[in-house]
Amino acid sequence: MPAARTLSDTITGATLLEEAWQRIGATIAGFHRAGVQHADLNAHNILLAEGGNVFVLDFDRGRIRERGVWEQRVLARLRRSLLKIRRQRVNVSFNERDWAAFLAGVDSVETRNA
């Protein structure tokens, strides 16, 4: 695998471009479209690699399900993780614009595959 860093480490001391947030959102949406529920999605379980690739780790409690309200719960869990990191660390770059870009990435997959 190319060099990669967790999302939590990447946003500490650096700003992610809008396109990166959109790619992360699109990646998560792709899992959800396939019915893949990540039971513990957080900023430590998302890897950003060279070339813009996004990887999701730690599926030990994940499962395949029918689509549903669990998707919003997974996204809310990720948001809480990002806010927690922002409270705990110094110089973390995460704000409402970033979250909006992430959600735009989620929506782009839903719109494209509707």
Q: Which residues are catalytic?
A: 40
Query: Per the structure block, which two tokens stand in for 17?
Result: 């471009």
Residues 6+ apart with CB under 8 A from 10: 16, 48
Cβ neighbours for 32, distance < 8 A, ≥ 6 positions apart: 67, 71, 74
